Structure 1
Amino acid sequence: MFQDCSITVLLVDDNETNRYIIAHMLRDAGFNSVEAATGEDGLQLIGLSKPDLIILEVKLPDLDGFEVCKRLKANPETASIPVLHLSANFIGSRDRARGLDSGADAYLIQPVEPVELIATIKALLRIRQAEAIALTLAREWQITFNAIHDGVGLLNDAGMFIRCNESLIKLFGKKSSDELVGHLHQDFIKPMLEQIQIIPFYRAQETQRREELEINWQGRWYFLTIDPIYDNLVFAGAVLIIADITERKQSELKLQEQAWEMSKLNVSLIRSTSELDQRNQELDRFVYVVSHDLKAPLRAISNLTQWIEDDLTGQLPEENQTQMVLLRQRVHRLESFIDGLLEYSRVGRTEDITESVDVAQLLDEIIDSLVVPDTFVIELNQMPKLITKRLLLQQVFANLLSNAIKHHDRPDGRIMIS
């Protein structure tokens, strides 16, 4: 329950021998002790030593123990300190009654046995500790109760408020709980229930289950809940909760409007998607036809150059043979370019494949396919190999080089790629 070594007892007695004996008992029991010989000294020591318990002799040279006890109990800072009266002179029943009436927590007659004194002290400390715990719990409960954003009230079996939190007080426009506690809750919620014939409290009492109700009052929405309370199967009251749900209701309305707009957009999107699919199919057919019509004569040119070279084997000069090879290479590049256009037309609709690309070789092919004026010089430094989408990279380089040549402010120029 408590550690004796941390307990300080203030002993107020003008008899030095008594103080010595009792202080010795306290030390043997493990308590710390502080001593005072007069009532005034005792009152001053309380603020300095902050004792957990006070042993107070009734007969003192200045203030008697009864007066000291009254002052202690009248002061909020010291009222909770247990006071044990101890006297060898005031031993009658009236004396003990007077001491207890003045606020003392216990009264013992001198001489007192150590076991009785220590047992009484421990009992008083247990009581004080229990009271402190109960006070702390009550304070925490009240803080928590008041921290609840919703209005909460506890009702008895007649519907009267027993307790309520700050939110409920503010909801009804009151200044303190005194204006609600002891009054029927029906009188406060009737204005909110203009179109409701049966008050939810009575319905919950009849149905023996929770009653819930949404209320539109003074331009705001509230959710009212009544939870019945039973004690040994007997209706004992209810818990009233009133939550402001205005923001939630407004959000629900906005969500409904947005859902309707989303529904219309979804229909429009489906229609647009269908039209887009149809156009993509038409584009695929068009690109296929165009690529087929372009590649057919290219294949014929390639085959023709090969036939000419085969028929004139040994007769064509080396320069003409080189030109035939270059012609076939450019035909193959043009075919690849057409295939690239076909793939480019499907970008976003098909999965692009990444591959290892020799950037230097790619640039050579692009430069060879462009019409580069003789007055332009293109220098190519060492290029890396990349894992990327070849077609897209080819298109980027082709656009950059073409724009650099086309939009240069002079007929001659130099392009460096590094």
Structure 2
Amino acid sequence: MNAPLNPPARRPLILHVEDREGPRYVKSRILHRADFTVLEASTGQAALSLVRQHSPELVLLGTRLPDIDGLEVCRLIKADPQTARTLVLLTSPGMTDSHRRAQALNGGADSFLVEPVEPEELVSSIHALLRMRGAEDAYSRTSQALHENEDLFRQLAEALADVVWVFDPAARRFLFVSPSFEALWGRPATAVLKEPKRWVDWVVPEERDRMSTEWDTMLRDGRLDTEFQLERPTGEIREVHMRAFPVRGADGRCLRVAGICQDVTRHNRAERALHNEERRKDEFLAMLAHELRNPLAPMRSAVDLLQRGAPSREDMFRARDIIGRQLRHLTRLVDDLLDVSRFNQGKITLRRDLVELRSALNTAVETVRPLLDMRRHTLRLSLPEQPLPVCGDMVRLTQIFANLLHNAAKYTPEGGTLSVTATVASSATGDKVAVRVADNGAGLSAMLQRQLFDPLAPAVHDVASAESQDGHDAPSHAEHDDQLAPDALSDDDGHPDNLAAREGPGIGLTLVQKLVVLHGGRVSAESPGRGQGSTFIVELPVEPWQNWQPSASKPRMQAGTAHTIMLVDDNVDALEAMTMTLQTLGHTVVTASDGQTAVDQAASVRPDVVLLDLGMPAMDGFETARRLREIPELRHARLVALTGFGQPDDRRRTRAAGFDLHLVKPADLDAITRLLDELDA
């Protein structure tokens, strides 16, 4: 049998306590007809026992009982924690003494009736007391739920990394601020609980007025959605996204404002990194095309000169020197472009030599000299007379100072003044040389000085902000005597003073900082403010001459023995040029334009050295090397990879394939000569 859909409600249980049998019977009948469940007791002790056993909703209690006075029974019921919430309705026949009434109510009675009482009044009084208890229970449940929800809210808010807060706009004070406030702001939340608008003082100075205005607007409409930068006590800058919304009452008034502060520093930096990567890729491709054409133009002019009918001996030597210089420049440019990638991957290495820093500074000045002359700047160079020995990479040190000089020249108005000053100071950790590159150009704001070497720092609207975004090396200018044709000097658009087009792909100030750190030094920036110039300071440890112990190198032997060399390359021009060079040195050269031809000829030629290109069609250099190693007649031959692939993975692959040496194109003739010399050792 199915249970009813709406089971009948439980009837309230009433304990009726009366020592007189007649009145007890009459009142119990009235209660039964009013749909109550009734228990009866005739003594105080029985009443106390039944209350504990059955927990009635109400006790209808007479004051005159044979064993215990009704007032005392009421007091005992209310004094017992188990029965204290039981409603007690006292009745007394003909009792009108106000003192007695007060005594009953003070004893814990919830209401009082004087008998005789009409049945309707009795039932109504009981219903009123039960309704009052129902309201109390509902209020208690609501309060309990509210407290539980508040506890849940606090637990959630305290578990969140974001700062959650609740603000009273009428009282202008925070009602709640989650503990994560201190982790984000670096200051205790009690500070804003005492002074609600104190947090604005911790916003970076450039944004305080804006945030103060937006906060005041929020107090009027309860809404806020903004981002700002705050400065922690350590000087660290964090980016914060603050949102707020109103909590309205039934009448639509804004009673509270709830808000959240989220640390979006990492998110924003990631977005800026993606944006910068895309922008830099486009700039890189545009500048790469220009930079590669810079050395190619004079080389083309030199070749054109040599291809004329009868160039003079002087012209031939001049063309040779131009091609040599520009080839070295082009090779270095390609190496630098690859270094940018390796630097970003943390794979850059330095050549450790004893460098005279004055030489590096002078070379950097000469590198930037065309730009200084173009912008009519005055450069003051102040170097000490004593040597400045530094342990490091001459090329990288020159690159550091050329970059700083290029930035100074670019962001100083024409006709400005630049200076390079070097001084030596002693400290507990040893002598240090400090090089100061100063200008009287755009200058740096305080915020920009803090964020200058961080490429992912938030954008700063500053007249000198471009200086922090610049990431270029000194421009690669062709030397004046290399300009055999007008287009070797001018840019693509025909304007020789187009700085944007003349900039090299560059390594940026952040990479300058990394290079300085790799040399054991530090770089910093100073500026009195906007329009008052900037000074970049590079500090490097001085390496005493007597401490320098260069690695012992084997004396180079004079090349005198002729060797048999096999050249394998699918580039006919490269094959022909290298053949002529080696034959000029007295060596026998056998060529092959593909791997299979080399394998077929190797046994009969028996070369001492095989110079092998890797990127050939059909059979690549790796497969060719493996097959050559299987030929018994070549067991003593040296296999040399001659390739345009120069990454660490490429070198590992050539070693695994059996190569003895890895040379990157264009090959250094000195390296090949040393290799051949080793065969005679």
Q: Report TM bin, short chain.
A: 0.3 to 0.5
How does the TM-score come out when normalised to structure 1?
0.47
Looking at secondary structure, tell me which structure has more helix per residue.
1
Structure having the higher Rg: 1
